[in-house]
Amino acid sequence: MTKHVLCAAVLLAAPFPAASQQSFEGLTLVSPSFSTSTYLIDMAGSTVRTWHGAENPASTAYLLEDGSLLRPCIDPDGHFPGAGAGGRVQRIDADDSVIWDFTFSDSTHQQHHDIRPLSNGNILLIAWEKKTIEEAQAAGRQDIDNEMWPTLIVEVEPQEPTGGNIVWEWHLWDHLIQDVDPEKSNYGTVAEHPELMDINFGDVGLGHQGIGDWIHANAVDYSEELDQIVFSSRSMNEFYVIDHSTTIDEAAGHTGGNAGRGGDLLYRWGNPQVYDRGTPADQQFQVVHGANWIDRGLPGEGNILVFNNGDRSGTANDYSVVEEIVPPLESSLRYYIAPGAAFGPSGPAWTYGGPGGFYGGPVQCGAYRLPNGNTLVCKTNTGYVFEVTHSGTTVWDYDIPGRIARAPRYWVDLRATLAGGALELEWQSRPGVAAYWVYGAENQTYFAPGLVPLFAGRVAIVPSGITTWFSPAGIGDPAHNWTYMVMAVDEGESVLARSNRVGEQEFAFGTP
């Protein structure tokens, strides 16, 4: 998740992270569910910055590198009255001015719950799309008495101030199977096709979720290394991984993309009953939310964190568990599954919570991994955010008035200060970073792809400290209108993170 960036527009004097087994210093972003405001708070709970949106949030807001906020919120004129309904996404700059106000909501589709900013400036949205009773029956659905809302994921290229181009899309409806009507094209044996979704599994329009809600996806995340998307489903008690490297046409089919499977499900975990390779005893989740990859360079990198709400029958045995799953990823970018068996692993690699422990409630909630190995957990209904060590000790907590979906934390990895013709770098050591490259160009608003810098320098990493890198004459002269970029690279010179700043004397960045 690209959530760990602090920029000068937000905070110029952020402390560096504390050591492991202590709380991890940073700023935490909270969006109360019944408020139009989003707050960035420090470790003492004081508000550092506030953004004001148009409506109550659909889920979680995200902070971008330039200090602006990306915030999904409710479209009051939406046509999909389901839990987590959104339909509108706003980008609000560091001065609290709306610079992009995009609506993805009409009679055929509506954004809901989560979004995911991408490094190319685009945004992933999860949405409902409407199918009529007739369309559902034509696809083989048996138990249906109203419309059906399957999951849609789109990538939007923002066009300020209100527009957006759909540059990629994926429809669950293109990846269905049913074992009832042999006359239909999607007929087959469900257990032989874990890459497809059984259209007859689960209820449609259950309770407060909306008359047509079926999957109830609630979170979406993206792995840039894999070019894959993960999203979690409350109703199915599973999370899913799909290929984002496909074209739109390939995403609608069963071939193509880096994994060669088109838009089919590459991986799923949590409830093998859904694809007929398990029993109730094999169900791992009792309502799941907040699936996200652990970022590169963090402990557990590449694993998937989820919040197992634990909303069991009755009330006496409800308890929640944060779970870390190690996916059985193969070099082909597919995931191993034995013939006739369920996807592995057999259980989580790490958990927090259990019988007799805490209960986050039946809706939302989530958890994020921090660089020192701690995990930041959010209990939605009570607005309680707390940080636990790997061994389960609580080292920081905060009660936020009202209900919140999740609360990402942002921190500083590197700070650079320009003074006296030199660029001074101060960094916090982190796994995987071998060096920082510093680039400069003149009369550029940003570092566009293919831009040849006028100067470049490489600073090899030693334990956390300060170094001064002297650049060509004139680097500190405002008349030259310099633009600077710093990139963190690993031993193989692959970019782990980058910062792109214009006309600022100090900047900081975290993961890309």
CATH number of the domain enclosing 421: 2.60.40
Q: Any residues with CB less than 8 A from the CB of 156 and at least 6 apart, and which? A: 89, 102, 104, 122, 123, 124, 125, 164, 165, 166, 167
351 in the same domain as 300 = yes
Tokens encoding 254: 């069963």
Query: Which pLDDT score, from 0 to 100, does residue 210 have?
Result: 72
Report the b/e string of 472-495 with b at 16+ CB within 10 A.
eeebeeeeeebbbbbbbbeeeeee
**160-186 per-position pLDDT tens digit:** 999 999 999 999 999 999 999 999 999
Indicate the average pLDDT of the chain: 85
Residues 125-130, mean pLDDT to the nearest whole number: 98
442 in the same domain as 302 = no
Instruction: Assess whether pLDDT exceeds 60 at residue 511.
Output: no
d(CA 231, CA 290): 8
Tokens encoding 148: 């059906």
Number of domains in the chain: 2
**429-468 per-position pLDDT tens digit:** 555 677 767 666 665 544 444 555 555 566 665 544 444 4
Residues 351-378, mean pLDDT to the nearest whole number: 94
Instruction: Assess whether pLDDT exceeds 70 at residue 229.
Output: yes
Residues 105-133, mean pLDDT to the nearest whole number: 97
228: nearest Cα among 310, 335, 316 = 335
Query: Which pLDDT score, from 0 to 100, does residue 428 have?
Result: 57
Name the amino acid, one letter, at 8. Answer: A
Give the percent of the chain with pLDDT over 90. Answer: 68
Q: Is 48 left (phi over 0), alpha (psi -120 to 50) or beta?
A: alpha
Residue appearing with tokens 């100067």:
455
Tokens encoding 56: 């109550």
370 in the same domain as 427 = no
92 in the same domain as 47 = yes
Residue 135 lies in a domain: yes
Instruction: Assess whether pLDDT exceeds 70 at residue 479.
Output: no
CATH number of the domain enclosing 215: 2.120.10.30
Angle at CA of residue 364, ends 363 and 365, nearest 5°: 115
Please tell me which residue, 3 or 232, carries the higher pLDDT value.
Answer: 232
Residue 22 lies in a domain: no
Query: Which pLDDT score, from 0 to 100, does residue 371 have?
Result: 85
Residue 7 lies in a domain: no
Among 410, 441, 465, the domain boundary falls at 410
Question: Residue 136 to residues 146, 150, 189: CA-CA distances in angstroms?
Answer: 9, 10, 19
Structure confidence at residue 15 as a pLDDT band (50, 70, 90): very low
**290-301 per-position pLDDT tens digit:** 999 999 878 999
362 in the same domain as 319 = yes
Residues 294-311, mean pLDDT to the nearest whole number: 93
Residue 256 lies in a domain: yes
Instruction: Assess whether pLDDT exceeds 90 at residue 484.
Output: no
| CA within 13 Å, CB half, 67 | 18
432 in the same domain as 393 = no
d(CA 417, CA 506): 5
Query: Which pLDDT score, from 0 to 100, does residue 290 have?
Result: 97
d(CA 57, CA 67): 19
* 49 contacts 36 by C-beta, under 8 angstroms: no
Query: Which pLDDT score, from 0 to 100, does residue 164 have?
Result: 98
Beta partners for residue 197, in sequence order: 176
| CA within 13 Å, CB half, 302 | 8
d(CA 288, CA 236): 9
Name the amino acid, one letter, at 375. Answer: T
Q: What are phi and psi of 209, to 5 degrees?
A: -75, -10
Residue 17 lies in a domain: no
95 in the same domain as 36 = yes
The DSSP-derived string for 94-105 is TTS-EEEEEE-B
Instruction: Assess whether pLDDT exceeds 70 at residue 251.
Output: yes
- pTM as predicted: 0.84
342 in the same domain as 222 = yes
Starting at the edge strand found earlier in the chain, the sheet holding 321-325 runs 288-293, 304-308, 321-325, 350-352
Residues 176-203, mean pLDDT to the nearest whole number: 97
Counts of helices then strands in the chain (DSSP H, E): 2, 34
259: nearest Cα among 270, 272, 243, 273 = 243
Query: Which pLDDT score, from 0 to 100, does residue 350 have?
Result: 98
Residue 48 lies in a domain: yes
118: nearest Cα among 147, 76, 82, 153 = 153
Residue appearing with tokens 């009051």:
76
Instruction: Assess whether pLDDT exceeds 60 at residue 382.
Output: yes
Q: Any residues with CB less than 8 A from the CB of 357 and at least 6 apart, and which? A: 319, 320, 321
Least confident of 17-31, 109-123, 228-242, 416-430: 416-430
Residue 237 lies in a domain: yes
392 in the same domain as 263 = yes
Instruction: Assess whether pLDDT exceeds 90 at residue 512.
Output: no
Query: Which pLDDT score, from 0 to 100, does residue 50 have?
Result: 95
204 in the same domain as 155 = yes
Among 410, 445, 479, the domain boundary falls at 410
d(CA 320, CA 268): 20
Please tell me which residue, 361 or 482, carries the higher pLDDT value.
Answer: 361
Query: Which pLDDT score, from 0 to 100, does residue 230 have?
Result: 98
Query: Which pLDDT score, from 0 to 100, does residue 9 have?
Result: 32
d(CA 232, CA 238): 6
Report the b/e string of 55-80 with b at 16+ CB within 10 A.
bbbbbbbbbbbbbbbbbbbbbeebeb
442 in the same domain as 305 = no
d(CA 209, CA 159): 32
For 91, the enclosing helix (H) or strand (E) is: strand 87-92
Q: Is 402 left (phi over 0), alpha (psi -120 to 50) or beta?
A: left
Among 357, 392, 410, the domain boundary falls at 410
Beta partners for residue 154, in sequence order: 125, 169
Angle at CA of residue 71, ends 69 and 75, nearest 5°: 150
User: What's the sign of the alpha-carbon dihedral 34, 38, 39, 40?
Assistant: positive
Range of the domain at 309: 27-410
Least confident of 138-142, 222-226, 292-296, 411-415: 411-415
Residue 12 lies in a domain: no
324 in the same domain as 445 = no
Please tell me which residue, 27 or 425, carries the higher pLDDT value.
Answer: 27
Cis peptide bond upstream of 512, omega within 30? no
267-269 and 27-30 beta bridge pairing = unpaired
Residues 278-299, mean pLDDT to the nearest whole number: 94
Query: Which pLDDT score, from 0 to 100, does residue 438 have?
Result: 67
Residues 199-222, mean pLDDT to the nearest whole number: 89
Tokens encoding 8: 């000068």
Structure confidence at residue 406 as a pLDDT band (50, 70, 90): very high
Tokens encoding 77: 């004129």
